[in-house]
Structure 1
Amino acid sequence: MTGQTRPRRRPLRAWVVVDPADVIDVFVYVVVLNLAIQYLPAVISETFTLSLLTAALLKVTLELVLLLKGVVLARLRGATTRLAKATSALMLWVVAAGSKLVVLWLIDVVFGGSVSLGGFIPVTVLVLALLASRAAVRRLLYGKTDAN
């Protein structure tokens, strides 16, 4: 390899774009998830490491769900006919309910029996607690929520 220069490697930071709020969200999710594990018998994680990985998976999944919900809400707000409004409202309901089933399925596929978020009702309560905690911490730290 004489006379050739090797391509310059970029640091990992150049490849991964992470907002500090996203890191804080994962920590908030870990706290809420571990409180759920402690107080809800249906929510189980065998180790802290698994709860940390579960929180990261929940963060990614919920970000995608919120993005999809935003698209559906924009479609609902832009709808001009009753049929379009009804279809968009139905899509919003499907995203809201279906996302909980997707979360349960992903947890089962990725972690198997090592992590359980219970059923539809416990995971719905957990997701609502995660999103409320996330909003509260963002308001505390940044003075705003996602809506601002």
Structure 2
Amino acid sequence: MARPVGSLRAWIATHPEEIVDVFVYVVVLNLAIQFLPQVISESFLHSLLTAVLLKIALEGVLLLKGAVMARLRGAPTRRGKVVFGVALWGVAVGSKLVVLWLIDVAFGGAVSLGGFLPVTLLVLVLLASRSAVRRLLYGDSGG
């Protein structure tokens, strides 16, 4: 059983920006809990686990968005650009709904991100904060 811990430690050592992202997400999420009445977490542990879940979900969304953007840029026809533009819009909107659903499934009433508009604002602030901290720590490369 020592092997997975060693593997986890090796992964953390080679990906410190991922751990920093979770810390940034915890801070931003708890500020949202503090200042937005519709964003609720029953405990710090819930907010920490929510931050981890948001990190995983947003990484998936960013990968999907990157794939759609690559298709959009590479589309040779106007129709293709429209199709992938609509797909990009779908990813942007659908990802917020998926995040709300994941939070509901994982935590039920113990965590609430308040609905579509608050979660959209939260996601934008999370990604902007992540980017700012990565620039601060790692320079222009972002990690």
**TM-score range, shorter-chain basis?**
over 0.9
Residue 37 and residue 79 in structure 1: after superposition, are their counterparts in 2 closer, same or farther (change >3 A)?
Answer: same
Matched with 2:54 is 58
Report if aligned partners of 1:135, 1:145 keep a CA contact under 8 Å in 2: no
Q: Does 1:82 align with 2:78?
A: yes
Q: Does 1:141 align with 2:134?
A: no
**Displacement after TM superposition at 1:10 (Å):** 2.5
Q: Distance in 2 between matches of 1:22 and 1:9?
A: 22
**Displacement after TM superposition at 1:97 (Å):** 0.5
| Unmatched 5+ stretches in structure 2 | none
**CA deviation profile, 1:73-93 (whole Å, cap 9, x unmatched):** 000000010111000000000
**Displacement after TM superposition at 1:13 (Å):** 2.6
| Unmatched 5+ stretches in structure 1 | 1-7
Structure with the higher fraction of residues in helix conformation: 2
> Equivalent pairs: percent with the same residue?
67
Q: TM-score, normalised by structure 2?
A: 0.93
Q: Does 1:131 align with 2:127?
A: yes
- Rg bigger for which structure? 1
Matched with 1:14 is 7
> Which runs of structure 2 are paired with 1:33-112 in the superposition (5 Å)?
33-112=29-108
Aligned positions, number: 140
Residue 121 and residue 22 in structure 1: after superposition, are their counterparts in 2 closer, same or farther (change >3 A)?
Answer: same
